[in-house]
Structure 1
């Protein structure tokens, strides 16, 4: 019994070794199968970022769906999931409708965007499109295709695009309307009325006779026309020319007047201040007032006197400049052809004045 037991215990290590080898092979196979999937996740992760930057949201959405699978690495899933939600929010969609020339809605229309098929037929569902300018081509089952250039804006959802197809796109039913339009072409019967004008000329000829009578009037009118025209031309314009002449006031008049007005203003202000100060001194300290206060009042008196002199001289100069302005600038007096008085200023020592013939 004891000799046989070691022989029976030998298979246990061999079985354990076999199980370990099988587990190792299984793990190796699993890793070998997982490696390509991880590489695909990483490639989709990188591609999705570039597609988002380029505005190719449709392709970016496919890449983000691939890298957000639970079998991808946790770091990739953590980024691709939120990015996918952002792309879905920014991806614009359009709802396309087509109508024929009679206003009937058409469903048998293929839609291509930039040469790629977007819809084989219209079913009213929203279709995702990348943002940016695109060329939409609508191909009805009958009739010519229609193209239009459309700018799709990012984040614009369920934008309605309605295309008007040509008259021929209505197919066979559209052909009957043109014959319906042909009956109005029955206007050819209206052509006979032009034949009636041939009969009308005789009736129209009596009214046409008065015009020949009018030509007889024109000959007398033609000689009569020149006489009225000639008297009408002379009267107006020439007499109206003289009034624009008006006397021009020299600038020295305004300058001298301003100086004179300023001098009188200085005289008024300085004189009022000096009189007020003098009255105060008489009421308070006269006759023992300080020399400085008395001197200040005298200065104010002197300034007032100078202002008065400047004012009188300025106003006098203004009057003199105005009186001696050029005779050509003064308006002519009615009934007097001779020029006005010739005046000129003179200065002799401390005296100044005006001399001339009045």
Structure 2
């Protein structure tokens, strides 16, 4: 009889104990207020957690009703993302940690959708033995199952230029300067030569063949000056060509055919100097 009485007493006292998960009225009110303020701040993930508390059956009916309505609206607006990572072979891997700033978002990927507040986020994917991968994304309100993928596959590096390539890049300055002076000299020789030929033509029309030395000497001097200037200019152009080809790497056959080259051809009463090649 004593044993039955004890059992009966224990059974009678069990319903009187409050459930361990029961929410106090104070917690309900605090979560109610937090839900509203967090929604206004755009922190939907935290607002959802607060709405779950104040919509509990242990909360007052008025509070519970509003929170349940808000929870449905938040669930609809709250974006969700799926984090994906690939190893250096391009295969998906779960052994990855994801941070947003200093906050650990995931210590391992499980393929499940994760709620994320709308707005701009910078996620850092980390994997042992690999360089971290940073992804900057903008999540929009109402987006669902947005894939955010990071790849740990190393991109092939561009080959570094060799010393020969660096040496051969661009056109050396010295041959440009020497060649420029040579071209200017050829221009001056041409002008002097034309003046001499014009004076010679005047003498032939006025006094030839009985022109005095005083009249002929200036023409001879101009012709000689034109010849000397042209010769010196051609020498400068030749020197420029030598400096250019010495300072440049050996060209290919295709480059040789397109390379500018200086040509000289004799003509009646003088010569012709030209530059041929692909420009």
TM-score normalized by the length of structure 1: 0.38
Largest Rg, 1 or 2? 1
Does 1 or 2 have the higher relative contact order (CA < 8 Å, sep 6+)?
A: 2
| Larger fraction in helix | 1
